Chains A and B, each alone.
Chain A
């Protein structure tokens, strides 16, 4: 079965650079979530989209933005990168009904040097 696809899996950037992460949700899932997990930390909710509209906002820095496109894929754009942005970034998707289980991608590991 198709899973959530994230790219790139690994990314190395310098401070003050820009990074873009991509997420392709499971087909027919209508909600996409972005989470940030720092080293040794629990995942922190950043932002979510329901039917291509931003629905909830968590602890997403102003330097970050995200959007969901007409094909339901989503992109997380991060600018003016800081050392503290080094983390594992997860995308997850969920569908209508059911338990509301979030299906996670394998994550994109960002290292800021």
Chain B
């Protein structure tokens, strides 16, 4: 079964508008972390925001916020005031277990966001 599901292969948003990118996850762990990464056409993976499973408040980082609904196992990314430079592929990822050691990220299939002027 897919551990991370991103149901929107592509999204369009008008410049200066807000947009929500969906992400649902599947895990039986109590401790886990959820991440969003941005991948522009140049290819690098840029960390945007993190939400821990025990965090009671939704994470925010500048124009990015994470709408975390634990009971529904969803971790949607909200980008406010979209800019042309936000056009990119966005990946939701999960790290199961917390603590030292190697815990690799599992990625969703990604959502390609296009910002329209």
- Chain A residues with CB under 8 Å of chain B are 30-31, 33, 41-45, 48-50, 55-56, 58, 88, 90, 92, 96-97, 99-107, 109
Contacts and interface: CB of A to CB of B under 8 A. Distances in A.
Interface in B23-50: 33, 35, 37, 43-47, 50
Contacts of B110: 42
Interface residues of B, number: 24
A103 B47 contact: yes
Interface of B: 33, 35, 37, 43-47, 50, 52, 91, 95, 98, 100-110
A101 B102 contact: no
B44 A104 contact: yes
Given A100-B95, A101-B47, A104-B45, A42 B104 contact: no
Contact of A99 (B44, B50, B108): B50
A97 B33 CA distance: 13
